[in-house]
Amino acid sequence: MDIVYISDLEIETIIGIYDWERQQRQIVSIDLEMGWDIAAAAASEDIAQALDYKAVAKSLIDFVAASQYLLVETLAEAIASRVMQDFGVPWLRLRLGKPGAVTGSRDVGVIIERGTR
């Protein structure tokens, strides 16, 4: 299985459990690796055979920006489900970071894998 990826996609959203977090948009950072067989696209140079990472990114930007989850865990699961269902991705690894959430750290968050390789 090959991997198509999106790295450090930053999106503003409402995320968090504290009252101030429910009132103020924060940035989340997404690294997404998606299992995909690129052989057909490489052989034909036909974009229809490729995983359209621009469409994936646009979908994530729209979805995450409109979301209002309490936990990064819940947002990560929602992103994974959306990508797998909407784009037919059989496997993915997602890192969802919340920069500035812990003083002294660059970011905190979760890494999940879903599907089969």
Tell me, yes or no, if 58 is annotated catalytic: no
Q: What predicted TM-score, i.e. pTM, was given to this entire model?
A: 0.95
Q: What is the pLDDT of residues 4-15, one digit of tens each?
A: 999 999 999 999
**Three-state SS at 51:** coil
Catalytic residue of the set 98, 99, 109, 112 = 98
Q: Which domain holds residue 78?
A: 2-115
User: In this structure, what CATH number is given to the domain that contains residue 44?
Assistant: 3.30.1130.10
Task: Work out how many domains the chain is built from and give that number.
Answer: 1
Residues 6+ apart with CB under 8 A from 7: 31
Q: What is the pLDDT of residues 61-102, one digit of tens each?
A: 999 999 999 999 999 999 999 999 999 999 999 999 999 888
pLDDT of residue 100: 86
CA distance readout (Å), 58 to 10, 18, 26, 53, 99: 12, 28, 18, 9, 21
